[in-house]
Structure 1
Amino acid sequence: MRRVLCREFADPERFELVEEPGPEPGPGEVLVAVEAAAVSFVDGLIARGGYQLRPPLPFTPGTAVAGTTPDGRRVAALLTGFGGFASHVVVPEDRLVPVPDGVDAGVAASSMESHGTIAFAFRDRVTVRPGEWVVVLGASGGIGQAAVDHARAAGARVLAVASTPDKRAAALAAGAEAAVGYDALKDTIREHTGGGADVVIDPVGGDAAEAALRALGAGGRFCVLGFTSGAIPKLPANVVLLRNRTVVGVDWGDWSRTDPAASRDLAEDVLRRIGAGELHPARPRNLPLADAATATRAYAERSAVGRLVLTP
């Protein structure tokens, strides 16, 4: 088998591609030949030692894969112990998620975390009603495009926020009704939403967070999903108090580790909805396993548009 090895917490340029004997499944486990391994912003954080989880060294990054089993089943899986950047992985049988006919392996792998996060957010953390305005920051990224997709499926109107024209075009292609940049963000959101947004989805953080919070209307809900800008905002409590706003955290990773069976069921439902045409994730861009550092760096530098997957 081939896999990417991280021997120390450092920049992805220190990744190594190694070849070694393949893993042997134990009782209740299945060997999966990986066809696509999802790459995310968090993979780079973990590799650099900047995430709350620090796996024992050496380790192989990657937590979401799709591929085939020896008996020919098309499956996807969320890996609790990392290891996805590889040609083969061993997965407990009860963690395998069937991939519906017509759903590409790259789409399946890249949707497990991004669409799973937003499905968890919309089901368990925030209510989105038909006709409401949902503002999505970082709308061209994996989480952002998933948020656009789910909000549209819920009957909401979506205002996408992204930093460049090509990123805004990607957000519009994902289903956003309008797309804007970050300049004068509070006033821009209020103008486009007719006075104030109902929900903000924020995986970005930084200065944009407070501006978007101030742009919420009465009863507005602000969802904190992450800080890809690298800056954790300090949201003013008085702005939350005014107009009965709510700030809610969405930590899908902690929930999925706490309740892996429920996480698996949610992932299966996400893939079912994709297969049924209820959700419409864009096909990711494929890169070879040897380009794991390039793919991971693209997220760290915020140059990636949409999703990237490694194809062993």
Structure 2
Amino acid sequence: MRAVQVTEFGGPEVLKLVELPDPEPGPGEVLIEVDHAGVNYADTHAAENSYLAPTELPLVPGGEVVGRTPDGRRVVALLHKSGGYAEKAVAPEATTYEVPDGVDDNAALAFIVQGMTAWLMLRKNAHLEAGESVVVHAAAGGVGSLAVQLAKAWGAGRVIATASSEDKRKLALDLGADAVVDSRAENMTDALREANGGQRVDIVLDMTGGRITDESIAALAPFGRLAFYGMASREQPKPVELRNLLGHSTTISGIWLPHALRLPGNLFERGLAELFELAKNGEVKAIKGGEYALADARQAHEDLRSRATTGKLVLNPRA
């Protein structure tokens, strides 16, 4: 089969199109003929070995695929470690989910990673209550575009979206945001408070890092919550001193999606089913951010890292 492989750590240049043996499913696993594979920021970190989990070489990147099983089921799956950038992939049966009619490949891939990240942050990290203000950084991205819609659907009083271009900010408004802020604002604390009518904000969903995280924490109201799910800038925020959290009863939390799979009560499956239902009812839509041929995986990573994209990026192994 054709696959994209990484044999040395680095940037997008280390992604190479190669021929590899077909993967063989083991006990409790299923073989999937891949129709599309998702592309995520986590993949760019894995390629340079800066992800939460250490990367082992050689690596076929890609954590989720949508396609067909040998018995004809159309499924979307989270892979055990990687392997999605290929014509065939092996996934655990436990993290393989049937895709309902009315949900296309792009949406299925967007919901299983970006959608569930947004769902978990608002449900588990931030515990959104009706009427609260929610800041969504990178609101035109895969997670952000879905988080804006979910926050509105679940009764947020005011959704403030940040994005780096006029087109991205317009997209956020079209998705339901009440106000937009330039993500390059000189002082994000002041910009967020101004967008919230001069008031501090209740919730921030952040994947930026660096000063944006620092200034977002400073914008939180009493009992405000910041959920941190990535560091696109690759710049560390300032260390947080616990005594400083007392000043506004601040909560700062992090999220790594695999942890949700370990919780009892089929939390992940319930969340994904809710997202599928919202999509079928037209209440939430996944933004198509671009489809790339397998041979163009390097370009997909370059576009993602440059923050020039919106919505969900996918690879097409058949192109």
Judge same fold: TM > 0.5, yes or no.
Answer: yes
Contact 2:39/2:315 (CA < 8 Å) preserved in 1? yes
Residue identity in the other structure for 1:267? L
SS at match of 1:134: strand
Distance across 1 between alignment mates of 2:28 and 2:315: 27
SS at match of 1:284: strand
Partner of 1:163: 164
Partner of 2:237: 233
Counterparts of residues 214-229 of structure 1 (less than 5 Å): 214-229=218-233
Residue identity in the other structure for 1:281? A
Distance across 2 between alignment mates of 1:216 and 1:228: 21
1:164 Cα deviation after fit = 1.6
Partner of 1:152: 152
Distance across 1 between alignment mates of 2:80 and 2:33: 17
Distance across 2 between alignment mates of 1:137 and 1:69: 37
Distance across 2 between alignment mates of 1:213 and 1:263: 28
Contact 2:202/2:223 (CA < 8 Å) preserved in 1? yes
Partner of 1:203: 207
Change in 2 beyond 3 A, CA 1:129/1:146: same
SS at match of 2:288: coil
Q: Show CA shifts across 1:17-74 (max 9, x none).
A: 1224423334443221111111111101101111132232111000011112223221
Q: 1:271 aligns with which of 270, 276, 301?
A: 276
Distance across 1 between alignment mates of 2:58 and 2:266: 27
Contact 1:66/1:75 (CA < 8 Å) preserved in 2? yes
Are 1:284 and 2:285 an aligned pair?
no
- Of 27-36 and 205-214, more deviation after overlay is shown by 27-36
Counterparts of residues 4-43 of structure 1 (less than 5 Å): 4-43=4-43
Contact 1:214/1:239 (CA < 8 Å) preserved in 2? no
Partner of 1:110: 110
Change in 2 beyond 3 A, CA 1:260/1:92: farther
What TM-score results when the alignment is normalised by the length of structure 1? 0.92
Partner of 2:56: 56
Distance across 2 between alignment mates of 1:11 and 1:269: 36
SS at match of 1:7: coil
Change in 2 beyond 3 A, CA 1:231/1:275: same
Counterparts of residues 113-128 of structure 1 (less than 5 Å): 113-128=113-128
Partner of 1:135: 135
Q: Show CA shifts across 1:75-113 (max 9, x none).
A: 100112200111111223332111111111122112211
Q: Show CA shifts across 1:203-249 (max 9, x none).
A: 11111112222222222111121211111111554653223222222
Q: Show CA shifts across 1:257-307 (max 9, x none).
A: 677964355334433432333422213311111111111122222222222
Are 1:79 and 2:79 an aligned pair?
yes
SS at match of 1:138: coil
Contact 1:34/1:66 (CA < 8 Å) preserved in 2? yes
Partner of 1:190: 193
- Considering only aligned residues, what root-mean-square deviation do their CA atoms show, in Å? 2.2
1:13 Cα deviation after fit = 1.2
Residue identity in the other structure for 2:192? I
Contact 1:75/1:96 (CA < 8 Å) preserved in 2? yes
Distance across 2 between alignment mates of 1:19 and 1:259: 39
Contact 1:98/1:268 (CA < 8 Å) preserved in 2? no
What TM-score results when the alignment is normalised by the length of structure 2? 0.90
SS at match of 1:111: helix
- Of 60-69 and 279-288, more deviation after overlay is shown by 279-288
Change in 2 beyond 3 A, CA 1:2/1:178: same
Which of 1 and 2 has higher RCO (CA within 8 Å, sep 6+)? 1
State how many pairs are aligned.
Answer: 312
Residue identity in the other structure for 2:9? F
Percentage of matched positions with identical amino acids: 38
Change in 2 beyond 3 A, CA 1:54/1:266: same
Residue identity in the other structure for 1:196? R
Contact 1:158/1:177 (CA < 8 Å) preserved in 2? yes
Change in 2 beyond 3 A, CA 1:92/1:243: closer
